[in-house]
Amino acid sequence: MDFSTMDHLRGRDFLSLKDFDGRSLYQMLDAAQRFKAMNHGHIPHTHVLRGKTLAMIFSKSSTRTRVSFETGIWQLGGLGQFLSSNDLQVGRGETIHDTAKVLSRYVDGIMIRTFDHQDVVDLAEHASVPVINGLTDLLHPCQVMADFLTIKEHRQTIQGCKVAYIGDGNNMANSLMFGGARFGAHVTICSPERYLPDTEMVDQARAIAEDEQGTDIHVETDVFKAVQGADVIYTDVWASMGQESQQQERLQEFREYQVNQELLRHAKSDAVVMHCLPAHRGEEISAEVIDGPQSIVFDQAENRLHAQKAIMAVLMR
């Protein structure tokens, strides 16, 4: 596989889709598609990151992110090290700065999932190897790479596609706005008023959209208006990791925001349904929709593997 056109991305951090131009992100999607074809064709590609190590720091739970990165680096010929922050000295007060400097002496890349986005920014500033954001309270860019790969596969083109995200204005909503702006999709975020994304995030996404392909980044509180003409309906949990104590209150406040069969009737008849997972059937999405014919959530989950491999290969070669 030829990565020569992506040399400018080598050694970079992957903290936010804001930091990459649309062309570079499309190059990464192409790489992901090629890795997927190799997996499906049983073509080994262990030469890509042979002998390289990825440290994977987790301060929150994970199924998809952990397994896709760990399996992905192994398929590329390298080693993934799962490091729970509870077991690291950082959990006992060692600074992020020292952790970044020490890990950089051992490994070729660091993936981190944590709460405060600033911790990831600090880690990246002090590490001399690429740092990959595996989810913070603010952003989840790796997920959105897999999401747009899935949209590309199902709809052939991302450009002009209308994505309606129904739910909390959280890390997924923020990253979807940035991704839509970079890849050329129109994105509407629909939440109860007090759960709309931060205006700073919306403004940043609109600025990116202006620089790129001029797509619309829209916020809305009416679910039926939001899904009108939508090609993709996306949702996520109402209470994210770290918000467990607000679960009951959120169940009440979001109850009109469920993605269900009635809502789907207001979107395009061939609209697809997406969810980053884990899902709570009967809360943000009905069982009949997530398990129904319009759902592409498991293709989306599979694509985490291929998209994450592309990110590692491009940054860590």
The catalytically annotated residue of 75, 143, 258, 308 is 143
Please state the closest distance from residue 17 (CB atom) to ligand NVA, in A.
Answer: 16
208 versus 239: smaller Cβ distance to ligand NVA: 239
280 versus 317: smaller Cβ distance to ligand NVA: 280
CA–CA separation, 158 and 63 (whole Å)? 27
Query: Which partner, ligand NVA, ligand CP, none, binds residue 150 by CB below 5 to 8 Å per kind?
Result: none
121 versus 241: smaller Cβ distance to ligand NVA: 241
CA–CA separation, 94 and 91 (whole Å)? 7
CA 55-108-54 angle, 5° bins = 25
91 versus 278: smaller Cβ distance to ligand CP: 278
6 versus 73: smaller Cβ distance to ligand CP: 73
- Find where tokens 């596989």 sit: 1
304 is catalytic: yes
Query: Which partner, ligand CP, ligand NVA, none, binds residue 170 by CB below 5 to 8 Å per kind?
Result: ligand NVA
Query: Which partner, ligand CP, ligand NVA, none, binds residue 214 by CB below 5 to 8 Å per kind?
Result: none
CA–CA separation, 314 and 32 (whole Å)? 10
Please state the closest distance from residue 204 (CB atom) to ligand NVA, in A.
Answer: 19
Residue-by-residue DSSP string for 210-276: HHTT---EEEES-HHHHHTT-SEEEE--SS-TT-GGGHHHHHHHTGGG-B-HHHHTTS-TT-EEEE-
The catalytically annotated residue of 117, 218, 304, 306 is 304
Which of 51, 35, 18 is closest to 307 using CA atoms?
35
- Helix runs in the chain, H state only: 22-40, 64-75, 96-106, 117-126, 141-155, 171-183, 199-211, 223-227, 247-253, 261-264, 287-290, 297-316
Characterise 242 by phi-psi region: left (phi > 0), alpha (psi -120 to 50), beta (else): left
276 is catalytic: yes
Query: Which residues are near ligand CP by CB under 6 A?
Result: 62-65, 135, 143, 276-278
140 is catalytic: yes
Query: Which partner, ligand CP, ligand NVA, none, binds residue 171 by CB below 5 to 8 Å per kind?
Result: ligand NVA
The catalytically annotated residue of 276, 300, 306, 308 is 276
Tokens of 186: 């129109």
Query: Which partner, ligand CP, ligand NVA, none, binds residue 63 by CB below 5 to 8 Å per kind?
Result: ligand CP
Total residue count of the chain as it appears in this document: 317
190 is catalytic: no
Tokens of 295: 């759902």
The catalytically annotated residue of 12, 236, 258, 308 is 236
62 versus 294: smaller Cβ distance to ligand CP: 62
Query: Which residues are near ligand NVA by CB under 6 A?
Result: 135, 170-172, 236-237, 240-241, 276
Please state the closest distance from residue 63 (CB atom) to ligand CP, in A.
Answer: 3
Please state the closest distance from residue 163 (CB atom) to ligand CP, in A.
Answer: 17
Cis-peptide, bond into residue 278, ω within 30° of zero = yes
CA–CA separation, 209 and 113 (whole Å)? 27
Q: Please identify every residue annotated as catalytic.
A: 113, 140, 143, 236, 276, 304
